[in-house]
Each structure stands twice: as structure tokens, then as C-alpha cells.
Structure 1
Amino acid sequence: MTSTASTASFRTGFSFANKASTLAILAATTPAFW
């Protein structure tokens, strides 16, 4: 049960980090296209 919880937490954290990095990349690259 602890393993499942930690896995879910890891996946949630990874998903959040992935979205955050994607937004950061978009924010950094978008001005270059304008």
C-alpha cells in the first residue's frame, strides 16, 4: 500500500513537473517566434 501511494505520488509529481517544464519551454520559445 505504501508502495502504491509512493508510486501515485511520484507519477503526480512527474506529471506536474512535465507540465511545468512544457509551460516553461513554451514561455521561453514563444517570444522567439514573434
Structure 2
Amino acid sequence: MRREKDLTQEYIVFELGISQKAYLDIENGKTKIN
């Protein structure tokens, strides 16, 4: 979804208020979100 909307990881982690590592785990399916 992030790539389809042409958003950077930096933008997403800033908006969500999480670390880039946490976001990478979500994006790679290692962490599930509700």
C-alpha cells in the first residue's frame, strides 16, 4: 500500500510515531497490526 501511494518509509514512521525498525517489521510481516 505504501508503495502504491508513493510514500517513503520515513514519512510513514514519522506519521505513525514509530521507529523505522518497527515499521520494517510490519511491512515484512514480522509484526501484525490491528
TM-score range, shorter-chain basis? Answer: 0.3 to 0.5
The structure with higher relative contact order (CA 8 Å, sep 6+) is: 2
TM-score normalized by structure 2? Answer: 0.32
Which is helix-richer, 1 or 2?
Answer: 1
TM-score normalized by structure 1? Answer: 0.32
Question: Which is higher, the Rg of structure 1 or of structure 2?
Answer: 1
